[in-house]
A and B are shown apart, each in its own frame.
Chain A
Amino acid sequence: MAWLDYFRRPVSGAASANVAKNRLSIIVAREGRSRSQLNYLPQLRQELLQVLAKYEKIDLDQVSVNVESQGGCDVLELNVILSEPGSVRRRGESSRHSPFFSEAPQESSRW
């Protein structure tokens, strides 16, 4: 009965596209970031661990490397938790400029 639909207001479940967009924007933003430039993070973490292992006994799980956006710039955050219980948590931060590089749109070239 299509004519009945005319009088029926859209039910709340109908606008599910927004739900989909919100769910995706959370997932894709996180994965997309790792795609853009920071593919080296796992390797950086591994190499840092090798250096730290020379001086301290450290577990791989105790080293975390993250990038966060704060305002206009991105912050590379490095957390190292020393193995001894109750020890100091060292924290180093280094900031850098926005990771996004602009790329001129290329003509679809024939080859």
Chain B
Amino acid sequence: MGYRTVAIDFDVGLRNLDLVMGCERRVVYDLINVIRGEATLRQAAIKDKRLENLFILPASQTRDKDALTRAGVESVIDGLKKAGFEYIICDSPAGIEHGAHMAMYFADHAIVVTNAEVSSVRDSDRILGLLDAKTHRAEMGMDPVKTHLLLTRYSPARVTKGEMLSYKDVIDLLGIEFMGAIPESPLVLQSSNAGVPVIFDPTNEAAQAYLDVVHRFLGEDRPQRFLEAPKRGFFQRMFGTTNETSFAAVG
């Protein structure tokens, strides 16, 4: 999209955004170093080799989590804004612990990523509660953090069979704006194996779904795709190994 963007990994202790992005060997300084003044933002931010305007700020792997202070996070975010970043993505750890609080605290938008599984949906509901109450916007009485729902590992075929909650069910339960569903795809695992985000393979359905989501987030009106199972012919039903079985092998 060309926006100057930085992704901050807030999962202190379990650093992994750099692994997924394939830049783990270039990590020298991390978020905690910056907060403690041991390194500058410029030193710590790793420039992505594939995209001109994308930077990654890795989490620390060894230090204790209390080093992640609210004032520290605020100074980092202010510094990034001053450095001209248009989008600052805070990658929150799962759960409702300190790291997640810090990741959400200064947010304007929150993308709640969940799969259609009971525990994930319930946890998402908890996180939505925190987003309404425990953020800078909530505490200052400003407009609430704008929440968006992103469903991952969605399998329309299993929804049709009644084995998986449908996207409509999840929307009903959580009651927030739906951004899209990412179809279950074996390529997602392969991508993280290789350290190349799946979105770089435009032939893949999951990548196309992610791209759609990005466009929708930027305000473009894109029709939903990948929500219905493709129709299977008679012979496919009799003998076919469909995508579905290969998904099961991954899932």
Contacts and interface: CB of A to CB of B under 8 A. Distances in A.
B60 interface: no
Interface string A7-24: 000100011111011011
Interface residues of B, number: 37
Interface stretch (A31-39, A55-63, A72-80): A31-39
B125 A14 contact: no
B203 interface: no
Interface stretch (A46-54, A83-91, A101-109): A101-109
A32 B86 contact: no
B109 interface: yes
Contacts of B174: 28
Contacts of A31: 125-126, 129
A104 B201 CA distance: 36
Interface string B213-227: 000011100000000
Contact of B241 (A2, A14, A24, A39): A2
A23 B161 contact: no
Contact of B129 (A34, A107, A109): A34
A15 B173 contact: no
B173 A17 contact: no
Contacts of A34: 129
Q: How big is chain A's contact interface, by range? A: 20 to 34
A108 B111 CA distance: 12
B237 A2 contact: yes
Contacts of A28: 121-122, 125, 173-174
A15 B163 contact: yes
B109 A108 contact: yes
B163 A21 contact: no
B240 interface: yes
Nearest to B166: A17
B162 A21 contact: no
Nearest to A105: B177
A20 B125 contact: no
A69 to B, nearest CB: 15
Contacts of A106: 143, 146
B202 interface: no
B122 A6 contact: no
A25 B133 contact: no
Given A6-B237, A6-B238, A15-B163, A32 B122 contact: no
Given A23-B118, A35-B128, 11 more contacts: A2-B238, A14-B163, A24-B122, A28-B121, A28-B125, A31-B125, A34-B129, A39-B132, A105-B177, A107-B219, A108-B217
Interface of B: 86, 108-109, 117-118, 121-122, 125-126, 128-129, 132-133, 143, 146, 148, 159, 161-166, 169, 172-175, 177, 217-219, 237-241
5 contacts: A2-B239, A2-B241, A14-B163, A24-B118, A32-B129
